[in-house]
Amino acid sequence: MNSIVDEIKKLKIEKNAIILAHYYQNSEIQDIADYVGDSYYLSKVGVDSDADVIVFCGVKFMAESAKILSPKKTVLLPNEEALCSMAVMARADEIEKMKKEYPNAKVLCYVNSSTEVKAISDVCCTSSSAMNICRNIQSDEIIFVPDKNLGSYIQEKVPEKRIILWNGFCCIHNNIIPEDVIKVKEEYGENIEVLIHPECTKEVRELGDFVGSTGQIIEYASNSDKKEFIVVTDVGILHELRKRNPTKRFYPLNMVCNNMKITTIGDVYNCLVSLSNEIYIDEGVRIKAENALRKMHELV
Ligand code: 13P
Ligand code: SF4
């Protein structure tokens, strides 16, 4: 009898499908994926592919972005409960109000947001592209939604622009306090490097030897001469870190995005069999959101 992984491989060929997985996914999902990456990489790889079907193993806003950018493709979210809690922290009507308060500002929207919010934004960004886009956007005043922590990080890096922050955050990253990092650092000694995702607070980021997206953290650790690292982001990233760096040691904090872990191999199999859990987006909204996402790819 064929294993479920063999069945998935057969179905992928039959349906001309590819599987994309974010670094926060369970390791068995990352292992069956054709492409694994951070949110910027995954936003490009779907557009560039000639597959008919994209199975997106991540959270809903990521699958929606893939559909926005590739409207002719069938985009499937294997488990429809995979939602990002930050993405619901900004509503389009509230942002419209803020735009009236700052009529000269452009809206820069982190991709961890709804399609409706992307549609009323000027440009989107991911955590790896936010800094460049902020520099390249044609405005000195920027409303940044929804993540106040990533927004404040960009403000530090691009002081020549004025960034107006929204009050959104990621519960998993925002909950970490400096003492959590200091405790692990004390346990393992001074020669360890601390790698931090910019969704963490400023106080936590200040303890980092490196701050970057999941993809940038993996690149940094892989190129570093150091042998030991504290990893201050979701534990799913450890799979790729350890795969690429078998002789290095990585120590996680207790950070688990349950939404990212909800997708199982069974979900992937089921959605491929019946092409179920397809993402649908109103065409009028999609076109506007596509504009903001395409500008992200242009300005990066
Ligand atoms: P990346 O841009 O690093 O993939 O981060 C996405 C995310 O949701 C982090 O919580
Ligand atoms: Fe959203 Fe936070 Fe999970 Fe990233 S880690 S997908 S921001 S809830």
Cβ distance 84 to 262 under 8 Å?
A: no
C-alpha distance from residue 174 to each of 22, 86, 157, 184, 198 (Å) = 20, 11, 19, 18, 10
CA dist 11 and 268 (Å) reads 10
List pLDDT tens digits, range 189-244. Answer: 889 999 999 999 999 999 999 999 999 999 999 999 999 999 999 999 999 999 99
Q: Is the peptide bond before 178 cis (omega within 30 degrees of 0)?
A: no
Domains and CATH numbers, the chain: 4-83+261-281 (3.40.50.10800), 87-169 (3.40.50.10800), 172-256 (3.40.50.10800)
| Angle (nearest 5°) at CA 244 between 240 and 248 | 105
Atom 8 (ligand 2) nearest CA: 84
Please give the distance, rounded to the nearest whole angstrom, from the Cα atom of residue 130 to the centre of ligand 2.
16
pTM for this structure?
0.97
The helix (H) or strand (E) run that includes residue 100 is helix 92-101
In 3D, which of 223, 211, 210, 217 has the Cα closest to residue 236? 217
Residue 211, pLDDT score: 98
Nearest ligand, measured from the Cα of 22 = 1
What amino acid occupies position 30? Q
Token code pair at residue 140 = 């000195």
Cα separation of the two ends of the chain: 48
At residue 251, φ and ψ (nearest 5 deg) are: -115, 115
CA dist 64 and 61 (Å) reads 5
Residue 1, pLDDT score: 62
* Residue tagged 């922290």 (tokens): 89
Q: Is the dihedral of CA 189, 190, 193, 196 positive or negative?
A: positive
Nearest ligand, measured from the Cα of 130 = 1
Please give the distance, rounded to the nearest whole angstrom, from the Cα atom of residue 171 to the centre of ligand 2.
8
Residue 2, pLDDT score: 77
CA dist 192 and 194 (Å) reads 7
Q: Which residues of the chain have pLDDT under 70?
A: 1
Ligand 2 binding pocket (C-beta < 6 A) is 59, 84-86, 112, 170, 172, 199, 234, 257, 259-260
Residue 189, pLDDT score: 83
CB atoms within 10 A of CB 156: 14
